[in-house]
Amino acid sequence: MKPRRLGPYSLLRSLFAARKGDVRAMEDVYHLRGVMTVAAMVFATVGLPGLMLVYYGIVGIRSDELALAADVRRRSEAAAAEFKADLEATFVQFQNAALSRLTSGQSVYTGQRELEDSLRVVFRFDADGKLEPPFLPSSVDQLEDQQFLLFDTWQEASAAEREGRWDRAAGLYAQAARVTHSRRDRARCLYNRARALDRAGQSREAEAIWQQEIEELGRDLYGFRIGDLARLELAESRLKRDPAGGQEDLRGLADALLTDNWEIGRGGEAAVARRAIELLPSSDWTARARGRVDERSSQLYWAERLQPELDSLGAKGRLLRAGAGDFVYLKTDSALWAMTWTDSDQYAFGLEFNRLLARERLAAAAVGGPDGDIRAALVEPSASTTADVLARASLAPWLPDWSVAVGARDPEGLAAQQTDQRRRGIGVILISIAMIALGLVLSTRFVRRELEAARDKSDFAAHVSHELRSPITQIRLKAEALQLGLATDDVARTRHYDVIVRESERLSRLVDNILDFAAIEKGKKKYTFRIGDVGLTVARCVEQAGVAMETKGMKIDFELPDDLPVIWHDADAVSQVMINLLSNAAKYGQQAAWIGVKVYVREGATGPEICVDVSDRGIGIAGTEQKAVFDQYYRSTDPLARSKKGTGIGLTIVRYIMEAHGGRVGIESAPGVGSTFTLHFPLSFVPPSGQGT
């Protein structure tokens, strides 16, 4: 078979062969060719586009500077138009919802927040401009004949009530009713008399008076309708003796008050309705009724507050007519009025202007974002446009005479931003150049690392093959000798059996190391930790290794204290660590024929720990290599060390197992003196969840 042609790589092969030999040079050249192919692809897909990016970046810096100001103006105009469109959409949605209710016969007096969050009250007027229900204009009662409140009789009756003398209070109120000439005041005196009678236990007489006064619709001095108070008292009285009937009366009273027309400026009906609801057990009905009372009370408050402003618009002739379904917006001090018409009625929707304005100001403040280069603000009718405004849009007809202005957030900083943009562009170009240079450096390191990794793996395969071949060869030779009957006596046969067992154990340890290393590389190695005496584990390993060492003429000195504390550890894993260290000590310290193993307790950097020293008097390890010996596939550069068999993974497994035990492995060594490997087992180690038994 013809050898593969290397083309332009032939020169590299010749250069490599001068130092490494033909076989190794061929391996390196083949690997280098693959790496260079990858590097060429990286340059074509990353490097070349990067260079083009640098070129077009330089060209685009100037055009970006010129486009920045135009972009800010364009975005300002778009933001102003968008803000106005959003405001229009809000009011169109409100108008459509209001017209939908009016045309479908639904009430515009309930659920007003569903129409518009700032809507506070709705007025309805007839064709002549007269206010129609449910709101009635405020009236002023004739305060005639009210001096009875100063009469001694009234004062005595009130004092009797406070003292709890209800019979006397009832009599005095009856006397006061005969004295006054006011129909309303007489009704109030009779109401108080009935209340006193009820408190005195004369419920029938009290109810008779309240029933007589139910049709009395006049109001007392506090704004309460006497009839409403009488109906409330009757319902409370009935509630005591007939809960079901009393509850029905209270619900009827509340419903009646909520459906009645309410007079602007009068809150007595709301108070009576709220009291009636409070006397009822909690239910969905009471929750809805309470909400209706709160809503009607709020409307009455705003009706009383805003009606004068609406009246002022009418006095100035500004309540103009328009087509049915059209909306006209007018502004007063506190409200924005949305006027619309049906065939026969005019509706005035009163929106709280300050709330509406605050909401729109928040919306304007959100334009451009908190860190954007444009900003928006609402401009009052009398305000003038400043130099930093780049776009302005009127908010009429919804906010008459108001507008939104959008401009640069920092006009003076716009020029600085252009300068910063130029600097950023130059910075991007410089960074691109730096990244390309960094890519070249990293590619060089990658090539070198790949060559080293390939060589390490090749060496590992070669060493493993050699390590496996040696025990297999011994086992085969001794087994064939036994099979062919070459061992003629029992001593010879025993010696052959011993070799087979010893080499089998060696082969087993080698296979275990390779399998464990593969599991460690994949992150799948698990341990089973148990509480036990690690000294006994070490002692069993020393005893097991001692038999093999004695056959080689080596001696093991072992020191083990009696009071060693127990710790969490995986005995099989610790045994593997000790076998690897003892095998290395025997391999590299064979000429000295001595191995020392010492177990002791000491105070470490993180607390008490058990230490195990494995020492030899062999060739030692140079200081520059002591840290690297725990790396995978590592083999010492010392010729004496490289002459020994090994896979380069034994100490890597030792380091990993010690880290899994929360400890570490240390080394002290000097060339020609020997080495001491120290295992540090912390007493405080607790295994991860699920790994301790």
Query: Is 50 exceeded by the pLDDT of residue 146?
Result: no
Task: Label residue 508 by pLDDT band (50, 70, 90).
Answer: low
Strands 555-559 and 530-532: unpaired
* CA angle (580, 581, 582) in 5-degree steps: 95
Per-residue confidence band for 214, with pLDDT thresholds at 50, 70 and 90: low
Q: Residue 37 has what DSSP assignment? A: H
269-273, 310-314, 517-521: least confidently modelled range: 517-521
| Helix (H/G/I), strand (E/B), else coil: 127 | coil
Per residue in 644-685, pLDDT tens? 555 667 788 888 888 888 999 999 988 888 899 999 999 989
**φ, ψ (nearest 5 deg) of residue 642:** -70, -20
pLDDT at 208: 81
Q: Inform me whether the pLDDT recorded for 556 exceeds 50.
A: yes
Position 73 scores a pLDDT of 85
Mean pLDDT for 286-304 is 90
Least confident of 28-37, 139-148, 250-259, 677-686: 139-148
d(CA 616, CA 676): 7
Helices (H), 180-264: 183-199, 203-212, 226-241, 243-259
Q: What's the whole-number mean pLDDT along residues 47-67?
A: 68
pLDDT, position 559: 92
Q: What pLDDT score was predicted for residue 17?
A: 60
Instruction: Note whether 378 and 53 are within 8 A (CB).
Output: no
Cα angle 13, 18, 23; round to 5: 55
Residue 621 burial (10 A CB sphere; 0-12, 13-18, 19+):
buried
User: In this model, does residue 20 exceed pLDDT 60?
Assistant: no
**So what's the pLDDT on residue 385?**
66
Q: Which residues pair with 406 in a beta bridge?
A: 376, 391
Inter-residue contact 354 to 337 (CB < 8 Å): no
Task: Report pLDDT for 6.
Answer: 47
Residue 389 half-sphere exposure toward CB, CA atoms < 13 A:
15
Q: Is the model's pLDDT at 638 over the cut of 80?
A: no
CA 136/CA 140 separation, integer angstroms: 12
Q: What is the pLDDT of residues 312-356, one digit of tens each?
A: 876 555 555 666 788 989 888 899 999 998 877 889 999 999 999
Percent of the chain with pLDDT strictly greater than 90: 18
Among all chains, which residue has been given the structure tokens 């040079």? 25
Tokens 């074509």 sit at which residue? 44
Q: Tens digit of pLDDT for each residue in 575-585?
A: 888 888 888 88
Confidence label for 359 from pLDDT (cuts 50, 70 and 90): very high
Look at strands 335-341 and 346-352 and give their pairing.
antiparallel
Report whether pLDDT(16) > 70: no
Domains and CATH numbers, the chain: 147-296 (1.25.40.10), 367-412 (no CATH), 526-682 (3.30.565.10)
How far is CA 339 from each of CA 126, 317, 547, rounded to the nearest angstrom?
13, 14, 110
All residues at 6 or more sequence positions from 46 whose CB lies less than 8 Å from its CB, including other chains: 439
Question: Which whole number is the average pLDDT over 137-144?
Answer: 55
DSSP string, 306-365: HHHHHHHHHHTT------TT-EEEEE-SSEEEEEEE-SS-EEEEEEEHHHHHHHHHHHHH
pLDDT of residue 70: 79
Residue range 555-568: mean pLDDT, rounded: 90
* pLDDT higher than 90, residue 278: yes
Local structure of 382: helix, strand or coil:
coil
Nearest to 633 by CA among 618, 645, 619, 651: 651
Looking at residue 682, its pLDDT comes to: 93
Query: What is the pLDDT, as a whole number, of residue 509?
Result: 62
Query: Chain-wide mean pLDDT for the chain?
Result: 78
Query: What pLDDT, on a 0 to 100 scale, did the predictor assign at position 567?
Result: 92
- Give the helix/strand (H/E) hosting 607: strand 607-616
d(CA 637, CA 193): 118
Phi-psi region of 374 (alpha: psi -120 to 50; beta: other; left: phi over 0): beta
What is the bridge-based pairing of β-strands 607-616 and 674-682? antiparallel
pTM over 0.75: no
What pLDDT, on the 0 to 100 scale, is given for residue 470? 59
CB atoms within 10 A of CB 408: 21
Query: Which one-letter amino acid corresponds to residue 689?
Result: S
Which helix or strand (DSSP H or E) is residue 667 part of? strand 664-670
Those residues whose C-beta lies under 8 Å from the C-beta of residue 647, and which sit 6 or more positions away, are 460, 463, 464, 467, 510, 513, 514
- The token pair at 277 is 């609801």
User: pLDDT band for position 553 (50/70/90)?
Assistant: confident
Lowest mean pLDDT among 363-377, 425-439, 538-552: 425-439
Rounded Cα–Cα distance for residues 323 and 306 (Å): 25
Q: How confident is the model at residue 144 (pLDDT cuts 50, 70, 90)?
A: very low
Confidence of residue 11 (pLDDT cuts 50, 70, 90): low
DSSP annotation string for 433-473 = HHHHHHHHHHHHHHHHHHHHHHHHHHHHHHHHHHHHHHHHH
Give pLDDT, residue 142: 42
Cis bond upstream, residue 397 (ω within 30): yes
166 pLDDT exceeds 70? yes
What b/e string do you get for 420-453 counting C-beta neighbours within 10 Å, with b at 16 or more?
eeeeebeeebeebeeebeebeeebeeebeeeeee
Quote the DSSP letter at residue 378.
Answer: E
What does R_g of the chain's alpha carbons equal in angstroms? 51
pLDDT at residue 510 tops 70:
no
d(C-alpha 448, C-alpha 441), whole Å: 11
Residue 389: predicted pLDDT: 85
CA atoms of 287 and 277, how far apart (whole Å): 9
Quote the pLDDT of residue 2.
43
User: Which token pair is 446?
Assistant: 């990658």
Furthest C-alpha separation in the chain: 151
294-328 per-residue burial string, b: 16 or more CB within 10 A, e: under 16: ebbbebbbbbbbbbebbeebeeeeebeeeeeeebb
